Amino acid sequence: MKAMGMEYVTREELFREADIISMHVPLLPSTYHIINKAAIALMKPGVVIINTSRGALVETAAAVEGLDQRIIGGLAMDVYENESSYFFKDCSDQIMDDVAFSRLLTYPNVIITGHQAFLTREALQTIATTTVQNIKDFTDGVDTPNIVKPQGHI
């Protein structure tokens, strides 16, 4: 890591020092709302937050407050914590009941892509190839690196 100019730091140090925070972690009890009001309070003004992992990593109400206070200078999300209400279906003829999400859509410094970041020819080809290989490995009785094993069996 150091050879590439990077180093591991504590979460608090990351929040205090980072100009850009790009989220690449699973949603676990320990990462739920990892970006919350307390975390945003530690961040330097103008921080850019990118979340392409899981929606509930970012507490939406806290993000809105951080944007209003000009702490968050930019927010890019391909995921949203209540996305099942709006993503993957046409809601253009409905009134949006989610006030926080509606508010996010009004900021010029917020981009929400609704799970479309994966939608490239290369990504779809990789997904298809991996899926077919996983099925083939499973039916042939071959171990696959992508098998999900219950905890304690890893």
Active site residues: 54, 83, 115
Give the residue from 60, 65, 76 showing the smallest Cα distance to 43: 65
The answer for residues whose C-beta is within 8 angstroms of residue 101's C-beta and 6 or more apart is 60, 80, 82, 86
Q: Which helix H or strand E contains 75, and what residues bound it?
A: strand 72-77
Instruction: Provide the total of helices (H) and of strands (E) in the chain, helices listed first.
Output: 5, 4
CA separation for the pair 148, 22 (Å, rounded): 25
Are 15 and 44 within 8 A, CB to CB?
no
Give the residue from 38, 126, 116 showing the smallest Cα distance to 83: 116
